[in-house]
């Protein structure tokens, strides 16, 4: 029984599908199926009920999968120790990142990730906040990059930078200035992201609006296009805006901002990867956003997220 085989059975237990498990493990489906079958032959019993759709892990199989997870965790620790001796991170790591951060951060750091972590098998998924937290708790992912503070027991928050909110106006807006307050935008319909996005609830909190917005969307780009049509205004994360425009206006001081952090479950041991990843992200973020001194941090409401 090999480490690779253990990874295959853990993936199959997670995804309940040979095709999805194979895709996750970056192998052909017949390869994964054959290796799972070899483990079952070696143990002398079936780990999965293939007659069911989705695939169901048997009672004995569940016990094996649980032990396999522990074994893989210990194996990853060995890779971490080896990386310390070589001064080079090794092993594997899975990261969940919220969409309103991934759209600008991942393109900024991806090539550097490949270069700096050549021995690390990275997997990055774009997920909403609650899904990231659930997967951290179940240890399906190792790290999350999302808005904080969360103040959740068993979850460690490692703040990275602070990103101000800005207002995006329609083209024909008559009342714009170098900075805005609530009175400047309260007469406009507010367009926000959908219910699963923490950015939505932070936007409503900033604008002191409890009612539903005129339009909700799952995409920042869709919101911008709707504003372009003159339907209303929206709030955007500053770093997602790109080039400055007279239609993008900051708030008056102290500017509302969100705290972006790396989060992980207590007991996380891949310290070398964490340290290098933190450095890599901060190198991609302008230094003016590294400190929270001039900002008013808007918290995250998980009961609404």
pLDDT digits (tens, 9 = 90+) for 82-128: 665 555 666 778 899 999 999 899 999 988 888 888 878 888 999 99
How does pLDDT run across 250-269, given as a tens digit for each residue?
999 999 999 999 999 988 87
Q: Is 55 left (phi over 0), alpha (psi -120 to 50) or beta?
A: beta
Lowest mean pLDDT among 114-118, 158-162, 278-282, 283-287: 114-118
Q: Which two tokens stand for residue 134?
A: 């659930």
Per 3-state DSSP, the chain is made up of helix, strand and coil in percentages (nearest 5) of 45, 25, 35
- The whole-number pLDDT of residue 60 equals 92
Q: Which whole-number Å values give the CA distances from 240 to 150, 163, 196, 221, in the listed order? A: 22, 10, 19, 10
Q: Which two tokens stand for residue 206?
A: 């900033």
Q: Which two tokens stand for residue 51?
A: 């007659």
- DSSP letters of 16-74? S-HHHHHHHHTS-HHHHHHHHHHHHHHHTS-SEETTSSS-EE-HHHHHHHHHHHHHHHH
- The pLDDT confidence band at residue 305, using thresholds 50, 70 and 90, is very low
Is 121:94 a contact under the CB 8 Å cutoff?
no
Is 17:55 a contact under the CB 8 Å cutoff?
yes
3-state secondary structure of 180: strand
- The whole-number pLDDT of residue 231 equals 84
How does pLDDT run across 230-247, given as a tens digit for each residue?
888 889 899 988 666 778
Q: Which two tokens stand for residue 143?
A: 């790290």
Query: What is the model's pTM?
Result: 0.73
What mean pLDDT do residues 196-208 have? 80
CA 173/CA 184 separation, integer angstroms:
11
- The whole-number pLDDT of residue 87 equals 59
- The whole-number pLDDT of residue 191 equals 84
- Spatial neighbors of 22 by CB under 8 A, at least 6 apart, are 28, 29, 31, 32, 33
Higher pLDDT, 272 or 37: 37
- Spatial neighbors of 163 by CB under 8 A, at least 6 apart, are 237, 238, 239, 257, 258, 260, 289
- The whole-number pLDDT of residue 304 equals 44
What mean pLDDT do residues 9-29 have? 92
């Amino acid at each position: 029984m090999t480490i690779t085989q253990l990874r295959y059975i853990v993936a199959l237990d997670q995804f309940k599908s040979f095709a999805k498990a194979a895709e996750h493990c970056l192998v052909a489906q017949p390869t994964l199926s054959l290796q799972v079958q070899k483990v079952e032959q070696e143990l002398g019993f079936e780990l999965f009920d293939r007659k069911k759709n989705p695939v169901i892990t048997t009672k004995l199989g569940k016990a094996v999968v649980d032990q396999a997870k522990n074994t893989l965790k210990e194996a990853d620790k060995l890779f971490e120790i080896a990386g310390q001796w070589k001064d080079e991170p090794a092993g594997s790591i899975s990261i969940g990142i919220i969409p309103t951060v991934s759209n600008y951060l991942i393109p900024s750091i991806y090539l550097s990730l490949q270069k700096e972590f050549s021995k690390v098998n990275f997997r990055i998924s774009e997920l909403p906040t609650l899904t990231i937290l659930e997967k951290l708790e179940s240890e399906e992912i190792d790290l999350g990059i999302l808005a904080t503070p969360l103040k959740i027991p068993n979850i460690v928050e490692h703040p990275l930078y602070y990103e101000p909110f800005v207002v995006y106006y329609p083209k024909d807006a008559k009342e714009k200035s170098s900075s805005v307050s609530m009175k400047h935008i309260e007469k406009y319909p507010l367009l926000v992201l959908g219910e699963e996005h923490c950015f939505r609830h932070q936007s409503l909190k900033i604008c002191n609006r409890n009612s539903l917005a005129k339009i909700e969307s799952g995409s920042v780009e869709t919101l911008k296009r709707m504003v372009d049509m003159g339907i209303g205004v929206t709030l955007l994360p500053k770093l997602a805006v790109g080039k400055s425009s007279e239609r993008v206006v900051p708030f008056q001081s102290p500017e509302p901002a969100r705290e972006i952090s790396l989060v992980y479950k207590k007991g996380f041991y891949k310290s070398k990867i964490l340290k290098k990843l933190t450095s890599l992200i901060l190198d991609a973020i302008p230094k003016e956003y590294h400190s929270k001194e001039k900002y008013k941090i808007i918290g995250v409401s998980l009961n609404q997220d």
